Structure 1
Amino acid sequence: MGKKAVSRETYRTHCHVSMNEPESAGELAKCLTSHLRERVTDEDIIVVCIGTDRSTGDSLGPLTGSKLLEKRLENFYVYGTLQYPVHAVNLEETLSLIEADHPHAFVIAVDACLGYLQNVGKVTLNEGGVTPGAAMKKKLPIVGDMHINGIVNVSGMMEYFVLQNTRLYTINTMASLIADTFLLVDQSLSKQDILRRGKAAALPVTFHNDDDHIRFLREASSAEQADNKHKKSHHRYRRK
């Protein structure tokens, strides 16, 4: 669908949404949550946001990463922000760090790409890894077990200049959509974890409704969650 970030491997699109539809984040989150529950058990989940803040069209990844940090996610580690982007120069080093710090992790890549005119503004969730910089003839490693692409502009001639002339509005809207998607997934995974641990504990407490049950379990496990939060590094900064 897009050229810039298309992997050399054939991948399958699981879900595609438009950045202008109000229910897009919910639809994308539902699809991503389903796949994570099927494929991830105890592995760390890494989000690698690829791109550079020096090009508007290629800033989708780092802008998304910065928005994700603001969400304070509980179930994801985030690499790549506006301040510390993950790009062609440091991509291999970043992947080596991830492998060292999170062996056997499940990696989701986020990247911008170019595509057909009718697809500009769409965000897709795809199976398999992405090859960043493919349209620029850069030889970079494939990233991710799954990847999210934002189709930011039209592919064709002079793609470097096309990326430079992409609207910031488009990038910001897509980044917000992807960040909102991960927040919804994070909340869903956290709720499932609370319910699972609550059932195992079999607490002898009477609840008037489901909201009371969830609230009690959240408060009862807050100390454990806080301890786990301190043990986790939710993002890795690498200055380049």
Structure 2
Amino acid sequence: MIFQRKQPEARYFIPDTPHGAKPVQELLMAKELAQAINLRKKDDDTLIALCIGTDKITGDCLGPLVGTKLRERGYTHPVCGTLQHPVHAVNLSATLASIRRHYSRPFLLVIDAAVGPADKIGCISFSYSPIYPGQGIRRPLPPVGNLSLTGIIGEASEHCAADLPYTRLFVVNTLAEFICGAVMSCEKLMIH
């Protein structure tokens, strides 16, 4: 869980759009993600989806839910972080060490939940920068990732950590479906 700050290079996508615009938004996000990966990832880098969060708290299960959906849909790149084997604050450092042992040049697409401004709840932020996990619950961890997708699940406030268990699963699942669809579509658009 991170605290979503406005970043100059962040781009927001809105999954819950009226009049059937969701597929258009999903494709736009897939194209932008593919373009970023094609520009930044070197040929010998291994693209890895690092899905951060825990299934113990509804508001923080976005990452593992996306990781599970990617695996179920046959995503061909490595995925770290699922509902069965979540990556969270306690095991993040060990997971990163394991990734570095197994892959000489990992390129991390990090997916996590975030709290942010009220007008961005339900949006997905795509950024060309790492995330700082744990900030949303005042448990800051080192920055992680090359690119990041964050689903904004609630409003940033003094008590946002206490509100996380009461986040609607519908909101989290809507974001997870959108992110998974965009990442799967992105895979088809990437230069291999």
TM-score by length of 1: 0.73
Amino acid at match of 2:103: H
The correspondence for 2:61, drawn from 32, 35, 59, is 59
- Report deviation, 1:125: 0.6
Is the contact made by 1:56 and 1:163 (CA closer than 8 Å) also made in structure 2? yes
Structure 2 counterparts to residues 1-240 of structure 1, below 5 A:
4-6=2-4, 11-21=7-17, 22=22, 23-42=24-43, 43-74=45-76, 76-189=77-190, 192-193=191-192
- Report deviation, 1:160: 1.5
- Report deviation, 1:15: 2.4
> CA 1:154–1:139 in 2, change beyond 3 Å: closer, same or farther?
closer
Q: What percent of counterpart residues are identical?
A: 31
Amino acid at match of 1:89: V
Q: Alpha-carbon deviations, 1:197-229, whole Å to 9, x = none?
A: xxxxxxxxxxxxxxxxxxxxxxxxxxxxxxxxx
SS at match of 2:57: coil
Is the contact made by 1:49 and 1:62 (CA closer than 8 Å) also made in structure 2? yes
Q: Distance in 1 between matches of 2:25 and 2:167?
A: 22
Q: Distance in 2 between matches of 1:101 and 1:5?
A: 30
- Report deviation, 1:11: 4.5
> CA 1:34–1:173 in 2, change beyond 3 Å: closer, same or farther?
same
SS at match of 1:111: strand
Structure 1 window deviating more from structure 2 (117-126 vs 137-146): it is 137-146
Is the contact made by 1:126 and 1:146 (CA closer than 8 Å) also made in structure 2? yes
Structure 1 window deviating more from structure 2 (56-65 vs 101-110): it is 101-110
Q: Alpha-carbon deviations, 1:124-179, whole Å to 9, x = none?
A: 11121111111322131211011111000111121122211111000000000000
Is the contact made by 1:13 and 1:124 (CA closer than 8 Å) also made in structure 2? no
SS at match of 1:131: coil
Is the contact made by 1:129 and 1:144 (CA closer than 8 Å) also made in structure 2? yes
Is the contact made by 1:57 and 1:165 (CA closer than 8 Å) also made in structure 2? yes
Tell me, which stretches of 5 or more residues in structure 2 are unaligned?
none
> CA 1:98–1:5 in 2, change beyond 3 Å: closer, same or farther?
farther
Q: Distance in 1 between matches of 2:84 and 2:42?
A: 31
> CA 1:104–1:11 in 2, change beyond 3 Å: closer, same or farther?
farther
Q: Distance in 2 between matches of 1:121 and 1:6?
A: 13
RMSD after superposition = 1.7
SS at match of 1:114: strand
- Report deviation, 1:105: 1.4
> CA 1:11–1:154 in 2, change beyond 3 Å: closer, same or farther?
closer
SS at match of 1:54: coil
Is the contact made by 1:60 and 1:112 (CA closer than 8 Å) also made in structure 2? yes
Q: Distance in 2 between matches of 1:113 and 1:49?
A: 13
> CA 1:138–1:19 in 2, change beyond 3 Å: closer, same or farther?
same
Amino acid at match of 2:16: N
Q: Distance in 2 between matches of 1:41 and 1:187?
A: 17
Runs of 4+ aligned residues of structure 1 deviating over 4 Å after TM superposition are none
